[in-house]
Amino acid sequence: MIKRAGILLVAVLATLTSLSEAKVHAEEAGASAGDIVLRKMIGQMVLVGFVGNKPEDEGYRSVLNQAAQGRISGVLYLTRNIRSLRAVGNLNERLQSVSSIPLLVALDQEGGRIERLTKAVGFKETPSAASVAQYMSPGEAKAEYSNMAAGLASFGFNLNLGPVVDLNTNPHNPIIGRLGRSYSSDEKKVVAYARAFIQGHRENGVITSLKHFPGHGSSSGDTHKGAVEVTDSWGDSELAPYRDLIASGDAQTIMSSHVVNRNIPGAEDTPASMSPATLIGLLRKKLKFRGVVISDDLQMGAIIRTRSFEDTVRQAVVAGNDVLVFANDKSPDPTIPDRISDFLLKEARSNPMILARIQESYGRIMRLKNKLYPTASSAKAE
């Protein structure tokens, strides 16, 4: 089913860019051709979590319907969604079969404390980043991560939200250091092991995401719970993993964090994920990143306690995030894709900057998916 979805990618792109075909659909739906195309583009910017682990569960049926209608770019799995490996594989296969454009099927499978697939369901667990760096060489780590990625791919996952490239500058950090999620306080060591993680996944067709930009390792707070500032603890060395991995072509996607970092000119008291100065000025212009930027979960305390849903979506898009993540963890809302689509459609009609950002993000996301599932024509051209 995944190969079928990939082969259909060129046809879908042609449909989205064909005004005459869009007009036919518009007449049937009672909407303008431009609105239909724009909603398709917006849909590719939305990655959501769901409640359920069986085909008949309401949450799963909701995302299945949204996938079929092109209202989401993909889904994010949490532990609650894992009943068995076989069940997960079946859920993912069905999701891909109904979607014209290949879906991103994501999870956090870092190793150690942060794993969604565990030995409880028969999946071989991987040591934490801290343990890997302490007891394995980069070559051994690559083999370990390659085995992990092969397992993920066999059950239909194609996006692993890792590696963590935060420097372990604060070992007492409640969300990074204490959980063993950082490889080291040494940026060169972090780069070496992060590259092993990336290459092991790439060999098995799984996309990776560097996180948490521009650096969460020095924090003393947890952005899941509320606002966190790193202005007085952050150092420029925390950008080194991004700089090196972008330059070597190993940065496929990058996840924006919710930390406040006033060291970045223009960022002021704005979380990185909401800051154009951070994501466009620093990441895109200074560090020359051309790939997809994925937000950290936009339902985390650092965001939902400081701004409305509408402000969150608007600011996340303007800041430069391409994929908006709503994990639907604490307060699940299956209508989020529709709410985002309705809101951004309205915004794009009156704000050329929003429209341009949607178009830019759509282009980046489709290029990423086209690399993940090369079409027959692009494979022939190569």
Residue range 300-314, pLDDT digits in tens: 999 999 999 999 999
C-alpha closest to that of 157 among 101, 196, 104, 81: 104
**Mean pLDDT throughout 325-351?**
96
Give pLDDT, residue 31.
61
Q: Name the residue with higher pLDDT: 198 or 379.
A: 198
Asked whether the predicted pLDDT for residue 43 surpasses 90, the reply is: yes
Asked whether the predicted pLDDT for residue 1 surpasses 70, the reply is: no
**Mean pLDDT throughout 61-73?**
98
Q: How would you class 187 by CB atoms within 10 Å of its CB: exposed for 0-12, middle for 13-18, buried for 19 or more?
A: buried
Superfamily of domain 46-340: Glycoside hydrolase, family 3, N-terminal domain (3.20.20.300)
Cα 210–chain centre separation? 10
Residues 6+ apart with CB under 8 A from 298: 273, 304, 312, 313, 316, 324, 325, 326
Q: Name the residue with higher pLDDT: 82 or 17.
A: 82
Residue with tokens 């529709």: 338
Asked whether the predicted pLDDT for residue 49 surpasses 60, the reply is: yes
Residue range 281-297, pLDDT digits in tens: 999 999 999 999 999 99
The percent of residues in the chain predicted with pLDDT above 70, rounded, is 90
Give pLDDT, residue 33.
79
Confidence band, pLDDT 50/70/90 cuts, at residue 17: very low
Spans of all domains in the chain: 46-340
Residue range 128-187, pLDDT digits in tens: 999 999 999 999 999 999 999 999 999 999 999 999 999 999 999 999 999 999 999 999
Give pLDDT, residue 375.
56
Residue 281, CB half-sphere, CA atoms under 13 Å: how many?
A: 12
Q: Is the peptide bond before 214 cis (omega within 30 degrees of 0)?
A: yes
**Mean pLDDT throughout 119-135?**
97
CA-CA-CA-CA torsion sign (14, 16, 19, 25) = positive
Give pLDDT, residue 298.
98
Amino acid at 49: G
C-alpha closest to that of 367 among 178, 81, 101: 101
Residue 136, CB half-sphere, CA atoms under 13 Å: how many?
A: 22
Confidence band, pLDDT 50/70/90 cuts, at residue 262: very high
The percent of residues in the chain predicted with pLDDT above 90, rounded, is 88
| CA atoms of 336 and 9, how far apart (whole Å) | 25
Give pLDDT, residue 32.
80
C-alpha closest to that of 270 among 309, 214, 225, 218: 214
**Mean pLDDT throughout 98-107?**
97
